[in-house]
Amino acid sequence: MRRAERVLLWAAVAVLAVIAFAALWPGVLATGDPLQTDVRAALLPPSSEHLFGTDQSGRDVYSRVVYGAGRSLGIGLLATGVALVVGLVVGALAGVAPRGVDAAMMRVNDVLMAFPEFLVALVVVAMLGPGPVNIAIAVTLAAVPVYVRLARVQTRTLRHAEHVEAARILGVPRLRAFTRHVVPGVLGTLSVLATIGIGSSILAAAGLSFLGLGPSEPTPEWGLILAGGRNVLGQAWWISVFPGIAITVTVVSATVIGRILRARADGRAT
């Protein structure tokens, strides 16, 4: 079981490494220009020349998927990173706030947490209006509640942990003891959760783009490429199927890494 787990972990890391490489240097992996149209080569099935086939305007789907990695991975990392920091600050504040304030904050947070991320993100886009920047904001906001909750619980436990009490007895000022000894511990727990969060943010962002609320054509974005294939699904399944596989593989990898890390962290704690 241990061995199988290790194999799974490294397989997931390898997959994410390839996708990260595609995100950073898409030109190396792509076989063509993601925006180059060629009407004579429209709707060609996958072949050695066009690995994932071509779309209605003859663009190479494989190259578009490769160039789309940056946007999806970027929004996943950015949304998760910002959500983590916001969650840490709000959660830590709630953790040290007076009881009434804490209870009110957690009540609101629990309501937000009761909804799936995609629905929260959709409501935020409904309020802000469509657009690529707005979907990034929406996906980030939707991710925040989970971190707030965990940061608050962790702050509450760590505040009275032995090493923090010891630091206080040694004469470390209250604020310094908090930033040096409580916050790093909370951050550690949150970052394990964040690995899983990257996957769900990518999913939510792809969903919003698919609905046409995000970036517009001809941007190579996984959700958008998928949506583009919807109308010609009967003749060209490859346009929609391959970007979907890219999303699934990325999200599965991030989730697997996150779950294994979490299991290890839990095992160490108990």
Partner 1 sequence: MKAALVRIAGLAASVVIVLWGAATVAFLAFRVIPGDPVSVMLGPLAQVSEAVKDGIRADLGLDRPPWEQYVTFIGQLARGDLGESYQLRMPVTEVIGRQLGPTLQLSVLALLIAVVLALAVAVFVRGRAGRAVAAGIELVVLSSPVFWIGLVLLSVFAFGLGWFPVSGTRNPATIVLPAITLALPVAALLSQVLRDGLVQAERMPFAETVRARGASASWFTLRHGLRHGAASSVTLAAYLTGSVLGGAVLVETVFARPGLGRVTLAAISDRDLPVITGIILLSAMVFVVVNLVVELVHPLIDPRVRATRSGGAR
Instruction: List residues binding partner 1 (CB under 8 A).
Output: 111, 114-116, 118-119, 122-123, 125-130, 199, 203, 206-207, 210-213, 223, 226-227, 229-230, 233-234, 237, 240-241, 243-244, 247-248, 251-252, 255-256
Nearer to partner 1, 112 or 153 (CB): 112
With beta carbons less than 8 A apart as the criterion, state whether 208 and 214 touch. Answer: yes
- Cβ-based nearer residue to partner 1, 130 or 132: 130
Q: Which is nearer to partner 1, 95 or 243 (CB)?
A: 243
CB 46 → partner 1: shortest distance, Å?
A: 14
Closest distance of CB 116 from partner 1, Å: 4
Helix (H), strand (E) at residue 168: helix 162-169
HSE of 30 in the Cβ direction (CA atoms, 13 Å)?
23
Cis, bond preceding 215 (omega within 30 deg of 0): no
Q: Residue 218 and residue 143: Cα distance in Å, rounded?
A: 28
State in angstroms the smallest separation of the CB of 242 from partner 1: 10
Q: Are 59 and 66 in contact (CB under 8 A)?
A: no
Q: Which helix (H) or strand (E) holds 113?
A: helix 99-113
**Nearer residue to partner 1 within complex by CB, 167 or 205:** 205
Task: Return d(Cα 58, Cα 33) in angstroms, integer.
Answer: 11
CB of 74 to partner 1, least distance (A): 17
Residue ranges with strand state E in the chain: none
Measured from the CB atom, is 173 or 212 closer to partner 1? Answer: 212
CB of 247 to partner 1, least distance (A): 5
